[in-house]
Structure 1
Amino acid sequence: MLKLRLAAPAGAAGLRVLCLGAHADDIEIGAGGTLLRLLAEQQVAAVAWVVFSSTAERAREAHASAEAFLAAAPAGLTRDIRILAFTDGLLPQLVPDIKAAFEQLKAFTPDLILTHYRHDLHQDHRLLSELTWNTFRSHLVLEYEIPKYDGDLGNPGCFVELPAAVLDRKVELLLTHFPSQAGKHWFDAETFRALPRLRGLQAACPGRYAEAFYTRKVLL
């Protein structure tokens, strides 16, 4: 298996990473470990973190969680955390307004975009994936996966190895910052460890754990 390393464009201080999530915990579940690793390795110069749907309670959780995940960043990281208030489950009915929010993100000029999987069975997730590709046509886009009741996990081909300490930190932050989700049967440490373990097996990672992503276009 070929191993590649993400690198910032020539002359840049680091990657500009755009993180997109339909709901308050999506970014953390799908790509939180990858973000923690990139930040720890000082590969990131700027992060735009955008959550599209929230209530007042979920917005507080989302903002606190984003700050906690980005706390590992080196001094000088540029951060833009946006917690929007579109209605959970109804994003496909709000396309013009959501597309306008996407257009505003062009000014961030990302090098790497983390977004939802295009075949995710949650309608909000699918819409964000579609609008990501509709808005950003010449960018590196990695589509993350969210385990859920619908059973829509597929066979991704891109893997980011997670050291055990990074996965531990991801799980700790998720369980700490989203108390509103604690009563859900799937929102626990076992779920958040199970999928990275399976993806680590699939990628033959020496460290046992990985987050997986779908890619449509990669220019080498």
Structure 2
Amino acid sequence: MHPLALARPGKGLRILCLGAHSDDMEIGAGGTILNWIAAGAVLEVHWCVASAAGPRESEARASAADFLKGVATVEVHIGGFRDGYLPAERAAVKDWVEGFKRRLDPDVVLTHRRDDAHQDHRLLCELAWNAFRDHLVLEVEIPKWDGDLGQPNLYVPLPDEILLRKVELLQRHFGTQRSKAWFDAETFMALARLRGVECRARYAEGFFARKLLLTD
């Protein structure tokens, strides 16, 4: 397993996060982003949440502020679409994603996994690949009742303190999700431990990299 580095001290890195719901990118890639910040990379982050109505919008903005503390440039975009109904609003969601394409040229796009059981997640993934064909797209995984976790092919090892910070922020900011049986510290720690086992680390986040270009 050969290590590759996206984030280095002083290196600029433009990130587009395309999440369906207010906690998705934090669950799937929060540790990785915290790790990149700790590595000293100069980040530009566009944090985009398609569906975050009512209290979930406040959660999304507060969480982004904490997860992205210390980031050089941050833009938070809330789509305002109805949770669970993104496929029914496909044209409007596509226009929303295409709007980012017209003005952004990210180094990496973080979005959902193509085979995710949640219909909103699948649509965001499809539209991300439509819009950002020539970019590095990394798909995140979200544990849930459906039991749809796959087999990642890209891993980001996480130091203990980074993972603990991720879990603490998830617990702090997403009160609307605490009633869900799967949304707790044990779930997030257990998944990170399993992904760590798969890449010879203590903890890690797993991603799905479906298309990569190797250059000199």
Q: TM-score, normalising length from structure 1?
A: 0.93
- 2:52 corresponds in structure 1 to 54
Trace 1:69-218 onto structure 2 (pairs within 5 A). 69-73=67-71, 77-106=72-101, 107-205=103-201, 208-218=202-212
Q: Distance in 2 between matches of 1:162 and 1:5?
A: 13
How many residue pairs align between the two structures? 212
Cα deviation, residue 13, structure 1: 5.0
Cα deviation, residue 72, structure 1: 3.7
- Which consecutive residues of structure 2, in runs of 5 or more, have no partner in the other structure? none
Instruction: Decide whether aligned partners of structure 1 residues 62 and 14 sit closer, same or farther in structure 2, where only a CA change above 3 A counts.
Output: same
Cα deviation, residue 42, structure 1: 2.1
- List structure 1 runs of 4+ shifted beyond 2 angstroms: none
Q: Distance in 2 between matches of 1:199 and 1:72?
A: 27
- Which consecutive residues of structure 1, in runs of 5 or more, have no partner in the other structure? none
Instruction: Decide whether aligned partners of structure 1 residues 219 and 172 sit closer, same or farther in structure 2, where only a CA change above 3 A counts.
Output: same
CA-atom RMSD in angstroms: 1.3
Cα deviation, residue 3, structure 1: 0.7
Please tell me whether the aligned partners of residues 110 and 139 of structure 1 are also in contact (alpha carbons under 8 angstroms).
Answer: yes
In structure 2, give the amino acid aligned to 1:191.
T
> Equivalent residue of 1:174, what SS?
helix
- Confirm whether residue 67 of structure 1 aligns to residue 56 of structure 2: no
Taking only the aligned residue pairs, the percentage that are identical comes to 56
Q: Distance in 2 between matches of 1:123 and 1:44?
A: 34
